[in-house]
Structure 1
Amino acid sequence: MTSSRLSIERDAQDSVLSHARKGAASDPPAEVCGVLAGDSDARTVTAAHPVSNVADEPRVAYELDPEETVSIIEAVESAGDDAVGFYHSHPESAPVPSATDREQASWPGYVYLICSPDGRMTAHEWTGNEFSELAIAVE
């Protein structure tokens, strides 16, 4: 991946935001997460696949369910697409990488999309050492 921009189809963006709003409306509010699918070379997201958040403290952290994540990535690849990255929400804070997000990032070269229930989104590539912000283009 070489582009400093992420393209996301409107339906995929709507799916991520709808999922984030459901998490924010739960009691207590919870972060939601999932897999972004599309074309990793073009850094284009065509679909978002929700994954259960199995974190101990889902109000302030996320952990993708490992079995669901592997199953979704296999299905995405079987359909001829790529796992472009992952998304999660910050139901009560700005959509920027937190210290916890930095500590737990483990997929260099993949996109990490963070959103707020109010519709704000940021995208970042994990370099292995830090997050590099990407511009977002909604297609």
Structure 2
Amino acid sequence: MDNMTDIRITQDSLHTLTALCLSALPHECCGLLTAPVSSNGQEAAITITGVVPVANIHPQPETGFAFDPAEWVEAYFRITKNRQHIAGMYHSHPSSPPVPSVRDLEGLPQEEASTHWIVSLSNPQRPAVKPYRRNGNQLTAIPLVIA
């Protein structure tokens, strides 16, 4: 994923992602995004095909997120057992745009190869979804393609 110029997500996965985030209102929600692993064990072209929620255990879930460590580990093993890989992580912004904050960087695990997605629910009728890629201590927006 070092030369990533865009990332794809299936329409079904995009619908699941936004529905999960909406159902968590007024709290932020977080989780993992998965993609298939090719038959030779290498990552396939990156198309998000699964959404795995992970409980938000942040003490102030209206304004922050933190992945539940036990659910994270369980999800990781379930994902790899099903011949998938973690292609990204997501969280929602209940009332702000899909722009990363300093607090967002603090909540994200230090996965250099993963994408990080923000789902803005400031207009719940039209959630805005934006993927990013971590570059050191900042997140850089990458184009989103709906597959």
Contact kept, 8 Å, 1:33 with 1:53, in 2: the verdict is: yes
TM-score of the two chains, using structure 2 as the length reference: 0.86
Alignment of 1:1-139 (within 5 A): 1=1, 2-24=3-25, 29-39=26-36, 42-105=45-108, 106-117=110-121, 118-139=126-147
Matched residue count: 135
Q: What is the Cα deviation at residue 41 of structure 1?
A: 5.0
Contact kept, 8 Å, 2:64 with 2:107, in 1: the verdict is: no
Contact kept, 8 Å, 1:12 with 1:45, in 2: the verdict is: yes
Q: Secondary structure at the match of 1:75?
A: helix
Q: Secondary structure at the match of 1:101?
A: helix
Contact kept, 8 Å, 2:65 with 2:107, in 1: the verdict is: no
Q: What is the Cα deviation at residue 59 of structure 1?
A: 0.4
Q: Secondary structure at the match of 2:49?
A: strand
Q: What is the Cα deviation at residue 21 of structure 1?
A: 0.9
CA distances 1:37-94 after superposition (whole Å, capped 9, x unpaired): 0045522210001111000110010111111111111111111111111111000111
RMSD (Å), alpha carbons = 1.3
Q: Which has the higher mean CA deviation after the structures are superposed, 102-111 or 78-87?
A: 102-111
Q: Which has the higher mean CA deviation after the structures are superposed, 35-44 or 46-55?
A: 35-44
Q: Which amino acid aligns with 1:30?
A: H
Residue 103 and residue 52 in structure 1: after superposition, are their counterparts in 2 closer, same or farther (change >3 A)?
Answer: closer
Task: Tell me how far apart the structure 2 counterparts of residues 60 and 41 of structure 1 sit (CA, whole Å).
Answer: 35
Task: Tell me how far apart the structure 2 counterparts of residues 51 and 103 of structure 1 sit (CA, whole Å).
Answer: 17
TM-score of the two chains, using structure 1 as the length reference: 0.90
Q: What is the Cα deviation at residue 103 of structure 1?
A: 3.1
Q: Could you list the runs of 4 or more consecutive aligned residues of structure 1 that deviate by over 3 angstroms after TM superposition?
A: none
Task: Tell me how far apart the structure 1 counterparts of residues 77 and 136 of structure 2 sit (CA, whole Å).
Answer: 23
